[in-house]
Amino acid sequence: MKNTRYSGLNSTLVHTLQKKISELKENEEKLTYFQKAVDNSSDAIGMSTPQGQHYYQNKAFTKLFGLTVKQVAGKKGPPSTVYADEKQGREVFATIMGGGFWTGEVKMLNKDGRQIDIFLRAYSIKNEKGKVIGLIGVHTNITERKQAEELLKASESKFKSVVEALRDGVLAADSTTKKLVFANPAICALTGYSEKELLKLTVNDIHPKKDLPYVLRYFAKQVQGKIYLAKELPVLRKDKTIIYCDINAAASTIEGKDVLVGFFRDATERRKGDEALRQSESKYRTLLENLPQKIFFKDRNSVYISCNRNYARDLKIKPDKIAGKTDYEFYPKRLARRYRADDKKVMRSRKTADIEEKYLQNGKEKFVHTVKTPVKDENGKVIGILGIFWETPGKTKQAASK
């Protein structure tokens, strides 16, 4: 007769053993996956005893430092000797031994003594009683990033030096919010604001309110790349005076934000000069238009540039339509050739000439007295000819009697 009590006990024992074996296999599989993950990590991972004896490193560690486990463990003292600054290495080791952790940038040495920039995360390994039984360090190679940062700093320094030395004002504004995000010293001097004050403002704050629709249309077109130069835009200074600037702007990116970078050149004096010139031209135009004589201006090739209303009326055109035309378009060839020959003679001699010549008005041939004067630029070079003429009635009658 079977002992059912022991039979059941054996069955339980077997089941328990099977469960434990299953758990061990599962844990072993998890451990294997964990080991593979650590071995193939892109970060260099190393482990050591509390005494500093190096006993494990993954593939990335070997590749980064060029050292095997034995070579690292064989160094005198704790693993802190692979640090470029051994004092810092000892501080890290002491921190971890105290049960803490250490995170930050350090410089370490590879097999050949070359410095490597490392971002280190170092932790203590504790048992269930909280006792430190080991150390683990995770090393990320940031050498290329540090080099890029140094290059970027050097580039930014050069850019800053150039921008700050510019005589033109430079402003950058967020393309969406229009908030000002950069200002150089020249724009501060131009607007009367400090850099700190400008960076609290928006595009809307530095232009007269009444001109904003006009200014913002240009801003939008420059952001879209449709235009680059906006001439003589009104700029409102801190003291509420208005100046006019040519703003050459293009879209760019600063710290990941889309911005419009504008170069401001003060055009206020030029604008005043242009306005004075326009007023002066208007006065002279009024004077010329009220003279009874006919007046014209041609270039070196005897091509018309402009004329007054009296002459345009004879030619049956508007004054602004004469530009680009020649005498051949208004007169018979014999007269056109004669007029152009006189033009060349005056420009070649560089002297004013008084000419009695025939002229065709409303299909009738008349005599006119013409004064032609060579026009020179600021260097004395002849660039065209100015003509003024009027009818000579006596000559006309005399010609008619003949």
Mean pLDDT by runs of 10 across the 402 residues of the chain is: 50 57 62 69 83 80 80 58 78 83 86 85 84 85 80 68 77 94 92 95 96 94 93 94 94 89 90 69 68 88 91 90 93 93 94 90 87 90 91 56 32
Q: Does domain 166-271 have CATH number 3.40.50.11540?
A: no
CA dist 300 → 307, 349, 370 (Å) = 16, 13, 18
- Identify the pLDDT of residue 4: 52
Distances (CA, A) of 236 to 192, 213, 233, 368: 10, 15, 10, 56
CA 363, chain centre distance (Å): 63
Position 324 scores a pLDDT of: 92
The CATH H-level (homologous superfamily) assignment of domain 13-145 is: PAS domain (3.30.450.20)
Q: How far is CA 155 from the centre of its chain?
A: 14
What is the predicted pLDDT for the residue at 25? Answer: 61
- Report angle CA 71, 75, 80 to the nearest 5 degrees: 110
Residue 361 · residue 314 · CB < 8 Å: yes
**Paired tokens of 84:** 């470029």
* Angstrom distance (rounded) from CA 236 to CA 244: 9
Maximal CA-CA distance, the chain = 169
Specify the pLDDT at position 27. 61
pLDDT of residue 377: 86
**According to CATH, where is 3.30.450.20 located in the chain?**
13-145, 166-271, 291-401
The two tokens of residue 266 are 């003060």
Contact, 203 vs 180, CB < 8 A?
yes
Q: Which residues contact 353 (CB under 8 A, 6 or more apart)?
A: 342, 345, 346, 371, 372
Q: What is the pLDDT of residue 110?
A: 83
- 291-401 folds as Beta-Lactamase (3.30.450)
Per-residue model confidence (pLDDT) at position 155: 67
Residue 187, pLDDT score: 93
Residue 202 token pair: 């928006």
CA-to-CA distance for 119 and 143, rounded, in angstroms?
A: 9
